[in-house]
Structure 1
Amino acid sequence: MKLRKILLHTGLTVTILISVFFSALIWFNPAMLQHDSKETTDTGENTTSVSKKTLSDIFLPLQATYNVNDLQYQLPSSENYLIGKVWKIMKKWNSVSTSTKIYKNSTDYLTFLKQNNALLLNYNSPITVKVFNKVFTQKIEGLSKFKFNRIMIPLENENYIYLMNDQSKAVCKVVINNMKAVKKIKTYL
């Protein structure tokens, strides 16, 4: 029994010493210190990639929905596909005047939102008209602080677009004087 106790205590002591030895190797390993210095070194790569982005790269809508025959279709949307093409068309439009309407209840707002033959360009979070003016090269005046998260483009020979805010149920109607390009948008759809 005494031999067993001595072996047990000796084995435990040796195990603790080996554990402390390997822990010290890990703590004082120069490779570990080099790894930390690499993480904190700034190579400057990130700053150059950020400066190359334009305002339109950041503030283009992220999602496109097509309302037709009382159905809604979510469309592939990337800068090189539908949203990018619609953005190039919208940059050529000229805004003439605006008017704002606030819907009292969600039902009326959703009915307006789901109207047929319309293209909806959706943002994840609201943007201001001031940013919209810069991205789409428009000159909408008097509403620079109006926030919206959807752009509705009616496709039935309309001469206006709608800027819509889902939270406040406010809709800004923007009259456009040269929307002949709506036919081109229809071909993309």
Structure 2
Amino acid sequence: MKYSKYILWIGLAFMIALSFYLSYLIWASPANKDQSLVEETEDSQTQDQQEIIAASEVFLPLKTVYLNDDNAQASNTESLLEDLQTNIAQSTFGSLDVQSYNSDEGLVEQMELSQGIEMDYAASFPLESYNDFFDMDLPIEGNEEENFTFQIIQVDFERDQIRFINKDEQLIATADIQSSLADVQDVLKEDSIDWYDVVKDEQLDYFTYFNEEPVKLRKFSYIASSRPYTVFRDSFFTNPNNLRSNEDTEDLNIYDGSESMVIAPDDQTVDFQGAISQDENFDKYTDSYQYIRNLGTSYGSIRFLDSMQNTIDYHIFVEGFPVFSDNDEGKFSVDFSEAGQDSQRSVEIQANLNMIQVPIPSDSEVEVPSGRTVLEDLYYVGADSDKISDLVVGYHWENIEDTGVVDLEPNWYVQYDDTWYNSEDLMQHLQESED
């Protein structure tokens, strides 16, 4: 018994010491780690290359709104969006009919929906790409339909129709759904969906549903790390096995003929320069996806957020919401431009090696104000309604100094004059402009 007591105390002391050591590894090591660039083993390269992201995951709409008579609820749950898209894609469609309207009021009147769902994008999306990415069987024929873009999808349960709405050009493309919508309706009844009540206020915005009351969303904390640069090398280069590098400078420069990549160790930024064949089949969505698809699941959920001119922006998403960062962590920007040669188009990809990796358990929540309130406040300080393209809830990436920890806090983000702003920062900017 006497020896057992000593053994017990020794074991307890060992467990306490081990606990302190593991805590040190988690908290101290990321903060004090060398900012040098990291390579990975051949085994992990092979594994990453096999984990290709499907286009149907990358190009999901941002959210869905479920309309049931006078009740409107919204959800950003990714599994719901995936299931809805899968079931819609299995439907049989009649021919498309494109109609134009002379005003927003006329367009909104044709969009009235009492039983059905509405899904939206933050940027205009090509109908032809949507048809391909989700393996649908829409009968797209003729130049008008092939070039049609939209921001909103509606599935009308009463009329058995699917509608694609271009709110900028006041167009609607409509097709009858000739198969049952029972599977789509059943998905909406699953218990695992996080719904929140929404309303539409046409005095503020004709097309957007907002949460009328503040909602509480989880605040997340993660231990951050840097992905090996070889993940980007193997994803972006045409022939990653035949490259040269220049390590005589502070930055790492990898190149091969017309392709090059510069990695800066201080801020972990990646800048890839390349070229693609310039032909009549160029599509910035499809061509940019060819680079993003090979990143695999290393970054979690990577999804399309917006597009401006010839630039496509992809972001990591957490719990169905996009992540924004002051240093563009978690963002992948793909830009196409003329290369000065008839047969080629230049490509530039900007990204960051930093990523969120190990979640830190927390029950902390943040109250997000109603979208209606945010929009009213923006107009009050002088925001131009013509410059507001979209308003979404996103997570702000905040690096906690000297800890290696990243906090993700939910905020409203506004796409204003082709730039994404935290709503509070935009309000301050507008107020200072007035002064």
- Once the two structures are overlaid, the 10-residue window that deviates more, 134-143 or 113-122, is 134-143
Q: Which residue of 2 aligns with 1:183?
A: 182
Structure ranking higher in helix proportion: 1
CA contact (8 A) 1:120 1:153 kept: yes
**Alignment RMSD:** 2.7
**In the alignment, which of 143, 146, 153 is matched to residue 144 of structure 1?**
146
Q: Which residue of 1 aligns with 2:105?
A: 107
1:153 partner amino acid = V
TM-score under structure 1 normalisation? 0.67
1:184 partner amino acid = D
Q: Cα deviation per residue 1:131-172 (whole Å; 9 max; x = unaligned)?
A: 11112322432212210111100012x332101112112100
CA distance in 2, matches of 1:165, 1:46: 42
Alpha-carbon shift at residue 187 of structure 1 (Å): 2.6
Question: Which structure would you say has the larger RCO, counting Cα contacts within 8 Å and 6 or more residues apart?
Answer: 1
CA distance in 1, matches of 2:49, 2:111: 37
Q: Which residue of 2 aligns with 1:121?
A: 119
Alpha-carbon shift at residue 185 of structure 1 (Å): 2.2
Q: Which residue of 2 aligns with 1:61?
A: 61
Q: Indicate how the Cα distance of structure 1 residues 105 and 50 shifts in structure 2: closer, same or farther if over 3 A, else same.
A: farther
* Matched ranges for 1:1-189 at <5 A: 35=34, 38-39=36-37, 43=40, 48=48, 52-78=52-78, 80=79, 82-137=80-135, 138-142=137-141, 143-156=145-158, 158-178=159-179, 180=180, 182-189=181-188
Other structure's SS at 2:109 match: helix
Alpha-carbon shift at residue 184 of structure 1 (Å): 2.5
CA distance in 2, matches of 1:76, 1:139: 25
CA contact (8 A) 1:64 1:119 kept: yes
Q: Cα deviation per residue 1:58-108 (whole Å; 9 max; x = unaligned)?
A: 112121012233443212431x2x211111211211233011111211122
Q: Indicate how the Cα distance of structure 1 residues 126 and 50 shifts in structure 2: closer, same or farther if over 3 A, else same.
A: farther
Q: How many residues align?
A: 149
CA distance in 2, matches of 1:50, 1:107: 49
Q: Indicate how the Cα distance of structure 1 residues 173 and 111 shifts in structure 2: closer, same or farther if over 3 A, else same.
A: same
CA contact (8 A) 1:119 1:154 kept: yes
Unaligned runs of 5+ in 2: 1-32, 189-435
2:153 partner amino acid = I
CA distance in 2, matches of 1:64, 1:161: 14
CA contact (8 A) 2:98 2:173 kept: yes
- Once the two structures are overlaid, the 10-residue window that deviates more, 97-106 or 62-71, is 62-71
CA distance in 2, matches of 1:88, 1:175: 18
Q: Indicate how the Cα distance of structure 1 residues 54 and 106 shifts in structure 2: closer, same or farther if over 3 A, else same.
A: same
1:160 partner amino acid = Q
CA distance in 1, matches of 2:118, 2:125: 15
Q: How much identity, in percent, do the aligned residues show?
A: 15
- Flag the structure with larger Rg: 1
Other structure's SS at 1:134 match: helix
TM-score under structure 2 normalisation? 0.31
Structure ranking higher in strand proportion: 2
Q: Indicate how the Cα distance of structure 1 residues 123 and 67 shifts in structure 2: closer, same or farther if over 3 A, else same.
A: same
